Amino acid sequence: MAVIVQKYGGSSVADVEKIAQVAAKVAATKQAGHDVVVVVSAMGKTTDGLLALAKNVAETAGSEGREPARRELDMLVSTGERVTMALLSIALGARGFDAISFTGSQSGILTNDRHFDARILEVRPHRIEDELARGKIVIVAGYQGMSYRREITTLGRGGSDTTAVALAAALGAERCEIYSDVDGVYSADPRVVDDARHLPEVALDVLQELAEAGAKVLNAQAVEWARRNKVRIFARKTTDSSGARETISTDGPLEASHAVSRVRAVVGCKPVLFVGAPSASLHTLLRVLAREGVAFVHLATSPAAATVAIPLANCPDWARTERALRAEISELSCHAGDALLSLVGDGFSSGGTALEVLRTLELAKIEAQLLDASALRVTVRVAERDLDEATCALHRALV
Amino acid sequence: MAVIVQKYGGSSVADVEKIAQVAAKVAATKQAGHDVVVVVSAMGKTTDGLLALAKNVAETAGSEGREPARRELDMLVSTGERVTMALLSIALGARGFDAISFTGSQSGILTNDRHFDARILEVRPHRIEDELARGKIVIVAGYQGMSYRREITTLGRGGSDTTAVALAAALGAERCEIYSDVDGVYSADPRVVDDARHLPEVALDVLQELAEAGAKVLNAQAVEWARRNKVRIFARKTTDSSGARETISTDGPLEASHAVSRVRAVVGCKPVLFVGAPSASLHTLLRVLAREGVAFVHLATSPAAATVAIPLANCPDWARTERALRAEISELSCHAGDALLSLVGDGFSSGGTALEVLRTLELAKIEAQLLDASALRVTVRVAERDLDEATCALHRALV
């Protein structure tokens, strides 16, 4: 029987009513004859609430400067998804369905030991397979796993997407459905660009560029797993029962013959910090960022200086990271107030598309600095206040 | 180095400020040169809140009559203590102390597989011992363990006490300190009896009778573990930093030479249900109660009928239990409105003390029915509305 993995994000399970609605959707999928594995996030803003509690308790208890240990933060925040999984399992039971919930560790999600930002190394879903064979619906706590040291780890922001895709790969699932409060991928943020178009199909490599450029539809690590394991992703709105409007991933770049269905999208990303250091400190800069688990999206080096762009979404606690950097690099400069703007698509000409982007922005009288140009993406740096206008200009001219 | 196990109940860790206060107490114990293991409950009313959420989601999702599976309830409520343990560990870190938190399963608390009311079978605290040897303070999530099926279990109401005493036994701890919002054991509930006396020392067997009679100071299973393993218990108020007013358990019954420090206490218990069934259904009655994990405190059988008294505190979901009973016993009778009143102490004369209790209540014009009389306890059934008056009368005449 074909396995379907469904993932429901925090806003889809924010309260009792929404969990009951998710139970109805899951039940319908089971009744349609599928084996169903459901990956859930923590309810609503639970994770943020728990982190605020940790900060609060650390400040109240003492001021010896010790940050909350990431191992302990993982112990704390991993409870959020466990509450949701148990409640969804209970909701399915109340509808007369046999369901069983598993933590990340029980699901066989094995990670490295980088607490609070772990990467999945391997998935051994034996218990899930056993329960599916017994006809049960399996609910899995997203965003978490167990390290080889047998410690509870979490996967960083958006980590439940990664759990879902990695499980879909390990189970040979027919597809991985990602439910959230958006109905897939658009050619630009519809709140910014009036005539943004919905994109029904996007190649996985383009999807990965979109995620890395800052599109919120899917976690970049999740798309990477999907690419490596050829998992088909369906991104839908939770409230869209028909799936009438969704984005489906396609495998590999589109062929030349598909050029007519060329996918292009404009993606903005803010807030972003631009962090500079003397070139002599480059190794230190990279080492500290790696140790802190902060991913940057652009690196520029000159004989004099090195600069990286850090989307704050990649950086759960910038104050901590900045302290760690300043402890080792005395001449560190941090610049806030700029944003990243990317044109993502396929079939870009190497220099040509970058030039088109720069000319378009020049015509619109928006200052921009070219950061990256690849076959799938052109990224520029603009002032945060210009981001929306620049997005509209690029979308009008090039999408 | 001597190990001290401290247990803090829900009201002692109800908010961030209280957790910070607990961190200060734990830090002081560590600085005094002890190895410290801390067992924590869920914050305030967290467990009740999670159970209400489960009930709510089951009612909202469906009405196919399926109760929440106890395995899933365990998945849900076990998160409560995990939040507290991580926060306390973070608070100790902020004070500059090395602390590490462990779940019940990581602490080696192995239980049977009776979900939601599991019993500890064995404790294998290897990870705790390793971390103590490294000089760390170890924080343990109370109330939970892992079954031999590798499932998360919880220990029933007051189960964190049992965790603490069982760990103290396994670690050969010098003592087990139970912190709560009361400063130990009194000769009666001070809110009911004005001149109730604080009892500085109570023998473990008397303590067990007190717990079983309904005194809230300690979970009965915890006292049983203490008796079996000769664990010294110190029951204190969390806010009492000096331990000036505490109850210390003594090992075994007091010797005749200690008769002068004879311990006596009056304990009331309500609400209590008296459940009757035809004697022919006795086996069924006992089997269903055992299956549902409901402990009764008195059993009376006659050729015609069997009756048990069930303190509702022993019965997390009476509606469920009653449905289970009625499904198998058609002529079940349930009587609410009565309470249990016990005189607990040592050196009772078998019939004599019971007679004194009955006479005292007769003089006070309170109707009472004798239920049990042992060397350590006399228990009568009184109307709930008479309980306070009866408590005062017994305390005045016999304590």
At A259, is the pLDDT very low, low, confident or very high (cuts 50, 70, 90)?
very low
Q: What is the pLDDT of residue A306?
A: 87
Between B399 and A374, the higher pLDDT residue: B399
The answer to whether residues A277 and A285 touch, using CB atoms and an 8 Å cutoff, is yes
Q: Which of residues 9-38 of B touch A (CB under 8 A)?
A: 16-17, 19-20, 23-24
CATH topology of domain B264-398: VC0802-like (3.30.2130)
Distances from the Cα of A203 to the Cα of A158, A175, A187, A353, A359, angstroms: 20, 15, 14, 19, 27
Q: Flag whether pLDDT at A63 surpasses 90.
A: no
* Extents of the domains making up chain A: 3-181, 264-398
Reading the block at residue B98, the tokens are 């090395």
Could you tell me the pLDDT band of residue A374, with boundaries at 50, 70 and 90?
A: confident
User: DSSP class of residue B297?
Assistant: S
The pLDDT value recorded for residue B245 is: 83
Residues B127 and B102 sit within 8 Å (Cβ to Cβ):
yes
Q: pLDDT digit string (tens) for A357-366?
A: 999 999 999 9
Residue A181's pLDDT is 85
Residue contact A17–B60, C-beta within 8 A: yes
Question: Which of B145 and A318 is assigned the larger pLDDT?
Answer: B145
Residue A52, chain B, CB below 8 Å: the answer is no
pTM equals 0.87
Superfamily, domain B3-181:
Acetylglutamate kinase-like (3.40.1160.10)
Asked if pLDDT for residue A257 goes beyond 50, the answer is no
User: Does the pLDDT at position A255 exceed 60?
Assistant: no
pLDDT of residue B246: 87
Sheet holding B233-237, edge to edge: B99-102, B137-141, B35-40, B3-8, B175-180, B233-237, B246-250, B201-203
pLDDT for residue B259: 43
Q: What is the rounded average pLDDT of the residues A303-329?
A: 87
Q: Do B264-398 and B3-181 have the same topology in CATH?
A: no
Tens-place pLDDT, residues A45-56: 999 999 999 999
Provide the shortest C-alpha distance from residue B46 to chain A (in Å). 12
What pLDDT was estimated at residue B240? 76
Q: Note which residues in 149-168 of chain A have CB less than 8 A from chain B.
A: 150, 152
Question: What pLDDT does residue A252 have?
Answer: 55
A193-250 tens-digit pLDDT: 999 999 999 988 899 889 888 888 788 889 989 998 999 999 999 887 676 788 888 8
Query: Is the pLDDT score of A32 beyond 60?
Result: yes
Q: What is the ipTM of this complex?
A: 0.83
Taking the CA of residue A102 and the nearest CA in chain B, the distance in Å comes to 8
Averaged confidence pLDDT in chain A: 90
Distance CA A368, CA A135 (A): 56
- Low-confidence stretches of chain B (pLDDT < 50) are 254-260
The pLDDT of residue A350 is 64
Looking at residue A258, what is its pLDDT?
A: 47
Which pLDDT belongs to residue A64?
66
Q: Could you report the per-residue pLDDT of A150-178, keeping only the tens digit for each? A: 999 999 888 999 999 999 999 999 999 99
Give the nearest partner residue to B20 out of A24, A61, A68, using CB atoms: A61
Q: What's the pLDDT score for residue A243?
A: 66
Specify whether the CB–CB gap between A52 and B87 falls below 8 A: no
State the Cα–Cα distance between residues B166 and A206, nearest whole angstrom. Answer: 56
Question: In chain B, which residue ranges form alpha helices assigned H by DSSP?
Answer: 16-31, 46-61, 70-94, 126-133, 159-170, 204-213, 220-229, 282-292, 318-328, 352-363, 387-398
